[in-house]
Chains A and B, each alone.
Chain A
Amino acid sequence: MQIEMEICIDKAGIQSTIQDLGRYPYLSQGVPISGAMDTLSAKLANIAIGNREDLATIEFTYAAASFIAATDLLIAYGGEGALLVTDELALPAYRPLFLPKGALIKLQNNNHGARTYVAIAGGWDVPTVLGSKSTYLTAGFGGYHGRTLAAKDRLRNDKNWSENTLKLFNQLKGTEPKFTKWGILAKSFFPEDKSIRVVPGREFCWFTSASILYFASSSYKIALNSNRMGLNLEGTAIERNKKEELLSTAVTPGTIQVTGNGNLVLLMADCQTTGGYPRIAQVAAVDLPRCAQLKPGDDITFRYISQENAEQLYMEQELDIKTLKIAINDKLQ
């Protein structure tokens, strides 16, 4: 049992693409992982409406986008890029939202972060390309015809309805926008300390001790030319004490490379599969979603943790997500 839903894009926004949790099978053929930059927000938006966490979402960048409900909708959104409003009514994030046919939903600037994820009951229906629905703009494949969304594009939902999704829809449906009294407390997933936790990279020792200390004790700024491939960081240049060239090897989102002139690049979802710059650090996977929310001009600071610690944090987050799913399930019984 599933109900067909459709939206029509009114204003496309700066960069709006379909993204799921990424594409792994063709890494060896140079195909990047792609997927949501902030995977946690995308997961939580899906979980809020009873979807599998890996279903496709729309990734909006900043605000200034809007869409029209061509049918009744059950959606949820997550992330920090915008606040969703309809008819002056602010719609809460991380919560199942019912919107009647004809509603105009706007993304309003909130100055908090960069990206917002909109999930729909059953997931967005776009073809699976090379094992994923994620858009990879550089090569123009995946997602909605391999491109960013444009005004008048029509997007439908897929058939992956769960029992909980149906229950939520029946609970909320009517003629007015409506949402549940409960919502996911996304804040509980983030540490109080705003610094980004990193594990020393393989070429950590290629840098002077002064630079290594500086890296973990000073703040960097997100540069304007940052994108889905990587965040360029502005700050004091990192100096090397080892001049030899690194032979290109595998890199992954979260890898922090030091370029020839000592600048830092934090690789993100669409990064190349291999790279030849020495790696000073690797961002802990649990902190990468927070990096995805940084805007040009924002500050970023780092602190070192161990590999064991990073693994531990990842496991804890997975367990928290599991617990959350159980809690939502209990609520709907």
Chain B
Amino acid sequence: MFLSVSKPMIDQPQETTSGYSFQTYALGEQAVTLAFGNEISEETAEQISSFKELLSQNSFPGFNTTVSAYTTLTVFYHLMEVLTSDLVGATCFEKVSNYLHQLKQTTYQSQAISKPIITIPVCYDEKFAIDLQEVAQLNKLSVNEVIEIHTAARYRVFMIGFTPGFAYLGGMDRRIASPRKSTPRASLPAGAVGIAGNQTGIYPLKTPGGWQIIGQTPLKMFDIHRDQPSFLNAGDEVVFKSISIDEFNQLSCR
């Protein structure tokens, strides 16, 4: 159970559509985290995306940046600017919290602007898909069935974390769920597509990693030379498309 502090603790299901529902807590002196319940869901992800958008249009003095996660949105600010602002509250945490609680009274609107679905080409060839056999065996499926299932779903980016540009994707079909490797690999190539538990994700950089690797994308998931270095952002919707090695090579040359 998780109810907004400013509202009576009674069951009012209509509330979820009439306003945002979150609690706030401090993360250090210069950030406040908004907790939107404690369950991963499409609806929570929508609320977080939508509130982040609302905040970007209604910023406050001293606002710095935000970080989205599964059920939280963390708002970073500059303490001295908040202190000298006319926001109301005894402490800076209170000033920002009060402002955000006020902002949440705004009628919640499910994102009217539907963002395009992002297609990520993945080569599932055994050259890259070093754990595809294992994932298939674990789930009593054929390799092709795993690829079909992985490319059939529509995924949601719940969070970017771990390394720059690493997107945690929710919405994977449980039929291909697989535990992490018992020993993480010392080095995975940039673009490796993996499965861990019920999640799938792409390694943007050459890093160590413990996920089961089922393919590789030729896209640069993180590139400091782009305006937006991360290819994916929290809230994005994603599908995977199977490509051949030839197509992979063509795309990676670009």
Q: Which residues of A contact B (CB under 8 A)?
A: 24-32, 129-130, 138-139, 141, 199, 202, 247-252, 254-255, 272-275, 282, 284-285, 307-308, 310-311, 314-315, 318
Contact = CB atoms under 8 A, between A and B. Distances in A.
A29 B164 contact: yes
A49 to B, nearest CB: 23
B79 A315 contact: yes
A272 B161 CA distance: 7
B229 A130 contact: yes
Contacts of A25: 65
Contacts of A202: 25, 27, 33
B33 A249 contact: yes
B31 A252 contact: yes
A190 to B, nearest CB: 18
Contact of B65 (A28, A255, A307, A308): A28
14 contacts: A28-B233, A28-B234, A30-B164, A202-B25, A247-B40, A249-B71, A250-B27, A250-B31, A250-B72, A254-B28, A274-B159, A285-B29, A311-B91, A315-B80
B166 interface: yes
Contacts of A255: 27-28
A272 B67 CA distance: 12
User: Which 6 A-B pairs rank lowest in CB-CB distance, beginning with the nearest?
Assistant: A274-B161, A29-B230, A250-B74, A250-B67, A30-B160, A247-B70
Contacts of B67: 27-28, 250, 273-274
Contacts of A282: 26-28
A311 B33 contact: no
Nearest to A253: B28
B63 to A, nearest CB: 11
Contact of A248 (B27, B64, B92, B161): B161
B4 interface: no
B29 A311 contact: yes
B163 interface: yes
Interface of B: 25-31, 33, 38, 40, 64-72, 74, 76, 79-80, 83, 90-93, 159-166, 168, 205, 207, 222, 224, 228-230, 233-234
Name which of A26, A250, A255 has the most chain B CB atoms within 10 A of its CB.
A250
A139 B160 CA distance: 15
A310 B28 CA distance: 8
A315 B83 contact: yes
A272 B74 CA distance: 14
Nearest to B64: A24
Contacts of B26: 199, 282, 307
A26 B159 contact: no
A249 B159 CA distance: 9
A129 B28 contact: no
A24 B65 contact: yes
B69 A247 contact: yes
Contact of A311 (B72, B79, B166): B79
A30 B28 CA distance: 19
Contact of B79 (A199, A252, A314): A314
A48 to B, nearest CB: 22
B38 A30 contact: no
B76 A27 contact: yes
Contacts of B168: 248
Contact of B72 (A32, A139, A249): A249
Given A138-B163, A285-B28, 7 more contacts: A24-B76, A30-B160, A141-B224, A202-B33, A250-B27, A274-B162, A311-B92
B143 to A, nearest CB: 30
B29 A308 contact: no
Contacts of B90: 308
Given A272-B162, A282-B27, A315-B80, A29 B228 contact: yes
Contacts of A318: 79-80
Contacts of B92: 311
Given A249-B71, A274-B69, A30 B233 contact: no
Contacts of B71: 247, 249
Contacts of B27: 202, 250-252, 255, 282
A307 B74 CA distance: 17
A130 B165 contact: no
A138 B33 contact: no
